[in-house]
């Protein structure tokens, strides 16, 4: 690649230093409208890759555009330094997770700079820092005190390879999200956040999220799975106290019920375990009991639905083979008779109602969030186990419960369970000898509230209502679409919880969500685990930051998957070479033409170009407003082509007109504005060569926002009791 055609290796570090020296991206309040851009941070256990770069290029383009349109912009990031992926990576590298986290946080920080990201770097923090996870623990205790967080015995998915429990949201197509191992079901004491407590608020609030993708909202609605129906009361034969409550949303299908399936954590099953041995895993099995169907006066067998994903672990359902292939499979395996013709009887609901055997009910698919892990690297659960007092929260003034660093790490189990000095503690209530909880909060507990802390890093109270009135809700959150059931879901849940607890007034924490598609090659997600990943550093060395940014932004709409090939970068590189050759060679003429006025009776050719420039400027502005960065790149490239053609015609003309240079200079300046959020280094360099005033990154955008509306209400207008 010829540096002479476009010397990015000299341009890019020079402008990165200039921005840093000028504190160009420090977020200071000036009284202008505010704009908050947040991106999901990377796991700090390796180098940045193309998926990261795409995420951050989109967020940075948004931040740069809004900075130029007259906003005080808060744009920063963090490092996801806690959690199982980082612990496993440290074990594989033969080092401590802290050393790994700090090493990769430092290298990723350098790569952020090399990519030209306009973060306020003062606000970047890793989740493993004590001043950060103190507040993770504090929020956990507030949830616990309010009854939204509980510890109970449950049968949960357990990954044998990672040697820890898994949340339902971290099971991808029946396998562990990290290692691909198929989890088993295991009985254990676990910490849960009762997200179902906020299910109605979260579901009803989806209608107000105009800036969220419909696909994400549909997934969230399905994940919550609210259904209206009836609760049917069934009597268990031979058990005087045995009354089962079974929900159904389609009572007309109950004529075909062949069995009742009970989840392994159902209270009735728990009572049976006191007197008989029941399997804890494997396939569904008969319980040896029957329940009477009040609408038909017949009995059906009870099935222990171990391994059946359609039956909630603590719930019950009717098995109707005529309507459900899964129920048909269970019935066939257990030899339960059924009739495929019995599908629909509208009279059943009325019969149940008149007999008093049913009542209206609401059910949810959403399950409690299993938030703790039996691993070392994470925020310790801030609870003390006392034989006298039971579970005792650690007092606020003793937070954080600090994670010990001098421990013996192994691939299995938690180092905290082997650390006697960590476990030994006096009970905060009675003073007797007690022990600390040895579970740690999972990685997805940390991004709950990052948008709070980064508003004022190190504050005594990160949940400041004054800061919230200024910045919240977040204007734009950018993250991978694979976070739909985890981060995107939890961030809304915790906002509902903080509001209900009176800690904050913010109802919906994110105004607009950009859920970006994956970067794929040969139809597969590019990742380090399968050798498909391409490191970012090598691409920056070879092509430069602006080429990488422009290529990733131009190749596909943010929500779409990007099918990777090197042509993505070659196309972007050729665009930037053309930009360089057009502007760098005529920079002095552009500078000189700033004061040359276009006469009213200008030539038709000049009028056409001027109109094309203004049209392009409006289209590109609208593209940025709507986060259509791929279209902004396309329209910028088309404007470049139009200006290049005009310049060539001018140079071939027999009569030179200063007005030609004037209209061309106007087009060039407009073009540099268009490229400033997309390829900021080359845009800054050419802006300076053309005599632009100050930094282009801070220059006022030349077009009024056509979609400008009255400022939306922020937190001060949201009542905590609404």
pLDDT in tens, 636-652: 999 999 999 999 888 77
Q: How does DSSP assign 540-603, residue by residue? A: HHHH-HHHHHHHHHHSS-TTS-EE--THHHHHHHHHHHHHHHHHHTTHHHHHHGGGPPPPTT--
Do 217 and 206 form a contact (C-beta atoms < 8 A)? yes
The predicted-structure confidence for 350-385, as pLDDT tens digits, reads as follows 888 888 899 999 999 898 888 988 889 999 999 999
Residues of the chain with pLDDT > 90: what percent? 63
Question: Higher model confidence: residue 594 or residue 648?
Answer: 648
- Return the higher-pLDDT residue of 256 and 313: 256
Give strand ranges (E) for 401-473. 424-426, 433-436, 440-441
Instruction: Give me the residue spans of the domains in the chain.
Output: 8-126+444-504+517-539, 146-195+369-443, 227-363, 566-698
Please tell me whether the peptide bond between 202 and the residue prior to it is cis, using omega within 30 degrees of 0.
Answer: no
Asked if residue 67 lies in contact with residue 118, where contact means CB atoms within 8 angstroms, the answer is: yes
Span 576-601, mean pLDDT? 81
Instruction: For domain 8-126+444-504+517-539, say whether CATH 3.30.460.10 is its number.
Output: no
Report the candidate in 602, 653, 593, 552 with the shortest Cα–Cα distance to residue 116: 552
Percent of the chain with pLDDT over 70: 92
Which of 511, 468, 508, 495 is CA-nearest to residue 709? 511
pLDDT of 529 higher than 70: no
Inter-residue contact 541 to 499 (CB < 8 Å): no
Checking if the pLDDT of 711 tops 60, the result is no
Task: Give the tokens for residue 586.
Answer: 């005529």
Q: Please tell me the predicted confidence (pLDDT) of residue 437.
A: 97
| CB contact burial 34-65 (16+ within 10 A = b; e otherwise) | bbbbbbbbbbbbbbbbbbbbbbbbbbbbbbbb
- Per-residue pLDDT, 179: 74
pLDDT tens track for 282-309: 789 999 999 999 888 889 999 999 878 7
- At residue 203, the pLDDT reads 97
Burial 547-572 (b: 16+ CB within 10 A, else e): bbbbbbbbbbebeeebebeeebbeeb
In order of 261, 528, 646, 684, 696, the CA distances from 690 in angstroms are 75, 43, 18, 10, 11
Given a contact cutoff of 8 angstroms between Cβ atoms, the answer to whether 501 and 463 are in contact is no
| Backbone phi, psi, residue 499, to 5° | -70, -45
Determine contact, residues 443/84, Cβ cutoff 8 Å.
yes
What pLDDT digit, counting tens, does each position of 652-677 carry?
Answer: 765 557 788 889 999 999 999 999 99
Q: Are 498 and 463 in contact (CB under 8 A)?
A: yes
Residue 631 has φ and ψ, to the nearest 5°, of -75, -35
Token look-up 């981060």 returns 487
Specify the DSSP element, H or E, that contains 191: strand 184-193
The Cα 410–Cα 94 span in angstroms is: 10
The answer to whether residue 527 scores a pLDDT higher than 90 is: no
Q: Tokens at residue 360, please?
A: 């209206």
Q: How far apart are CA 294 and CA 355, in angstroms?
A: 8
pLDDT at 598: 54
pLDDT at 710: 45
* Three-state DSSP class for residue 13: helix
Q: Which CATH architecture has domain 566-698?
A: Orthogonal Bundle (1.10)
pLDDT at 717: 36
Q: Is the pLDDT of residue 720 over 80?
A: no
Check whether domain 227-363 has CATH 3.90.740.10, yes or no: yes
């Amino acid at each position: 690649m010829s540096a002479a055609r476009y010397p990015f290796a000299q341009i890019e570090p020079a402008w990165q230093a200039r921005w840093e020296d000028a504190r160009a991206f420090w977020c200071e309040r000036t009284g202008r409208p505010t704009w908050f851009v947040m991106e999901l941070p990377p796991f700090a256990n390796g180098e940045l890759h193309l998926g990261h770069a795409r995420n951050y290029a989109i967020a940075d383009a948004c931040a740069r555009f809004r900075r130029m349109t007259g906003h005080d912009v808060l744009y920063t990031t963090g490092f996801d330094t806690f959690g199982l992926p980082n612990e496993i990576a440290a074990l594989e590298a033969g080092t401590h997770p802290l050393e790994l986290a700090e090493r990769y946080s430092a290298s990723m920080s350098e790569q952020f700079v090399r990519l030209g990201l306009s973060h306020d770097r003062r606000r970047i923090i890793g989740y493993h820092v004590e001043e950060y996870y103190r507040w993770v623990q504090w929020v956990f205790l507030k949830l616990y005190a309010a009854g939204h967080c509980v510890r109970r015995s449950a049968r949960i998915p357990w990954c044998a390879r990672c040697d820890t429990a898994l949340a339902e949201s971290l099971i991808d197509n029946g396998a562990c999200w990290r290692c691909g191992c198929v989890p088993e079901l295991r009985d254990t004491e676990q910490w849960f956040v009762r997200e179902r407590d906020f299910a109605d608020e979260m579901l009803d609030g989806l209608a107000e999220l105009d800036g969220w993708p419909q696909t994400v909202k549909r997934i969230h609605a399905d994940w919550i799975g609210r259904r209206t129906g009836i609760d049917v009361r069934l009597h268990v034969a031979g058990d005087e106290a045995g009354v089962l409550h079974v929900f159904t949303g389609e009572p007309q299908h109950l004529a075909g019920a062949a069995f009742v399936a009970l989840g392994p954590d159902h209270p009735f099953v728990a009572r049976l375990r006191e007197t008989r041995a029941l399997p804890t895993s494997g396939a569904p099995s008969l319980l040896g009991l029957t329940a009477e169907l009040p609408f038909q006066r017949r009995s059906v067998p009870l099935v222990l639905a171990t391994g059946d994903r359609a039956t909630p672990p603590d719930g019950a359902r009717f098995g109707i083979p005529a309507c459900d292939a899964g129920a048909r499979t269970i019935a066939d395996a257990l030899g339960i008779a059924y009739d495929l013709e019995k599908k629909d009887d509208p009279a059943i609901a009325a019969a149940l109602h008149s007999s008093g055997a049913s009542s209206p009910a609401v059910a949810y698919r959403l399950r409690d969030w299993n938030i703790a892990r039996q691993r070392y690297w994470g925020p310790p659960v801030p609870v003390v186990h006392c034989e006298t007092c039971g579970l005792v929260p650690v007092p606020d003034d003793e937070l954080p419960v600090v994670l010990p660093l001098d421990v013996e790490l192994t691939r299995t189990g938690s180092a905290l369970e082997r650390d006697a000095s960590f476990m030994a503690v006096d009970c905060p209530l009675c003073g007797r000898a007690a022990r600390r909880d040895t579970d740690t909060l999972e990685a997805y507990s940390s991004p709950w509230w990052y948008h709070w802390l980064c508003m004022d890093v190190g504050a005594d109270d990160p949940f400041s209502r004054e800061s919230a009135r200024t910045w919240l809700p977040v204007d734009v959150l950018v993250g991978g679409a694979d976070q739909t059931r985890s981060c995107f879901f939890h961030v809304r849940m915790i906002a509902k919880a903080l509001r209900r607890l009176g800690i904050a007034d913010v109802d919906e924490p994110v105004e607009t969500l950009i859920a970006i598609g994956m970067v794929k090659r040969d139809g597969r997600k590019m990742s380090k685990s399968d050798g498909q990943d391409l490191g970012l550093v090598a691409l920056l060395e070879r092509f430069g930051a602006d080429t990488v940014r422009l290529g990733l932004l131009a190749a596909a709409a943010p929500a779409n998957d990007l099918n990777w090939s090197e042509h993505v970068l070659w196309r972007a590189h050729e665009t930037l070479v053309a930009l360089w050759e057009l502007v760098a060679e005529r920079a002095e003429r552009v500078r000189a033409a700033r004061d040359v006025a276009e006469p009213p009776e200008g030539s038709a050719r000049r009028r056409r170009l001027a109109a094309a420039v203004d049209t392009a400027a409006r289209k590109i502005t609208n593209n940025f407003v709507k986060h259509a960065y791929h279209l902004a790149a396309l329209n910028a490239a088309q404007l470049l082509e139009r200006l290049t053609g005009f310049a060539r015609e001018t140079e071939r003309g027999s009569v030179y007109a200063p007005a030609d240079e004037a209209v061309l200079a106007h087009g060039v300046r407009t073009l540099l504005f268009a490229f400033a959020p997309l390829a900021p280094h080359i845009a800054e360099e050419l802006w300076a060569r053309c005599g632009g005033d100050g930094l282009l990154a801070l220059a006022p955008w030349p077009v009024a926002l056509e979609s400008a509306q009255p400022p939306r209400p922020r937190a001060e207008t949201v009542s905590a009791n609404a």
